[in-house]
Each structure stands twice: as structure tokens, then as C-alpha cells.
Amino acid sequence: MVSKERTQEIFKGLSQAVISYNEETSVELSKQALEEGIDPYDAVMNGLAAGMQRVGELYAESYYFVPELLLCSDALYAGLNILQPHIKTKEKEFSTKEQIVIGVVEGDIHDIGKNLVKVMFEAAGWSVHDLGKSVKLERFAEEQLKTNSEIVAISALMTTSMLAIPKVIEMVKAQNPNVGLLVGGAPITRDIAMAYGADGYAGDASSAVQEAYRILQCLRNKKNR
């Protein structure tokens, strides 16, 4: 059984491989994690995704710019391609592959946080339908209908663009009241998200998947009443 020290060493190495955009090391350590019996989900979340979370912070601090982000993403996905096929969902009560529509509302081009959330869901084995940034409001409802996704995640990083969120929620709920709406973004709090009519709120990328599963469970319980 692999030691805690060795596990943490692998996690730290994976994280640093992403931060330093080293694809070769990302692949090598991902293979080592599998060979040594480390949970691939934990390797992704505590290693690769943690590194990308730090990359997002470095970008916000204007230490990294778009070229560095792209290189870091390449390193992240190089490792993810090794680990993801071996991940088994931790939420056993959900037997099918969950789907989520995700995007940043119209007029807002800040998508670093959204991209981090996307990585988290992909790592957890979800099918992610990424609409990108500055998404026309009706596109969220259209994509949900097209994909029959259980969750629609909406992001806004500006106080001006966040005002569009309740409109998106209304459009999606009018089309299908059984869809879960997950909201996040720097200017948004849980209270604001609930006031907008959302089913859940994620304050950061690492909590988004857990919140989505909570929403799914609530929807399932409501449906079975």
C-alpha cells in the first residue's frame, strides 16, 4: 500500500507539472500514480486540478497570461488523458453518466473560472457541454434541450453581467422545471444565487461537482415524492 508521504509527493509533483507546463512530467507521474495504486480521482483533484487552480490564481495576479494558460492546460490534459479512463464515479447512486451545460453569460468574457469548473466535471466523469464565454442567454436553454442535461451551470464575473443570470434561470426552468441550475462567479454569493432562483451555488471550482451531485439528489428526492 502506498504511503501517505508518497501519495502527497505524487500530488505535489502533478500540481507542479501543471504550473510549470511540463507535459512529460504530468504523463510520467500520472502513470506512476496508477502503478502505485493511488486513486486516479484523487490524483486528478489533488494533483492536476489543484495545479490548475493555482494557475488561475497566477493569471488573476497578472503573473501568467493567456500563452501560459494554454501551456498549463496542455500539461493538465496530458495527465488527465492517462488518469480519467480509470476513474470510477464516487457517487454510486448515479448509475448513468451525468451531463452538464456550462457557460459564461453574454457580455462577460472572463472564462478562467468556468474552465477550471469544466476540468473538475470532466475529471469526475461528466459529459460537459461547454458553451464558452459571452453566451447568448437563450443558448443555455437550447443546449439543455438538445443534450437533455441534468444540470445547467451559469457563470458571471462582473456585477453588470450577473444581472443576466435570473433571466437564464427563468428560460431554462420554463422549458424544464426538473433541471438543476448551478451558479457561480466572483460577484455572486449563495444568497444572491438563491434569490435569483438557482438550485445551487459554487464558491470555487473545487466545490462545484459536489454541489452538482447535491442538486441531483434533491431533484431525485423531489421527483420520488
Residue 50's pLDDT band (cuts 50, 70, 90): confident
Mean pLDDT estimate for the chain: 89
Residue 155's beta-bridge partner residues?
104, 184
Amino acid at 114: K
Return the SS3 of 131: strand
DSSP 198: -
Residue 95 has pLDDT above 50, yes or no: no
pTM above 0.95, yes or no: no
Tell me the average pLDDT across 196-219: 90
User: How many Cβ atoms sit within 10 Å of the Cβ of residue 204?
Assistant: 13
Residue 34 has pLDDT above 90, yes or no: yes
Query: Highest mean pLDDT range out of 26-35, 197-206, 209-218?
Result: 26-35
Q: Which helix (H) or strand (E) holds 122?
A: helix 112-123
Q: What phi and psi, each to the nearest 5 degrees, are found at residue 157?
A: -115, 5
Give residues with Cβ within 8 angstroms of 75, minimum separation 6. Answer: 17, 18, 20, 21, 22, 23, 25, 26
User: How many Cβ atoms sit within 10 Å of the Cβ of residue 3?
Assistant: 9
Domains observed in the chain: 4-86 (1.10.1240.10), 99-223 (3.40.50.280)
Among 112, 158, 108, CA closest to 137: 108
Tell me the average pLDDT across 15-37: 96
Stretch among 45-59, 161-175, 185-199 having the lowest mean pLDDT: 45-59
Residue identified by cell 432562483 is 197
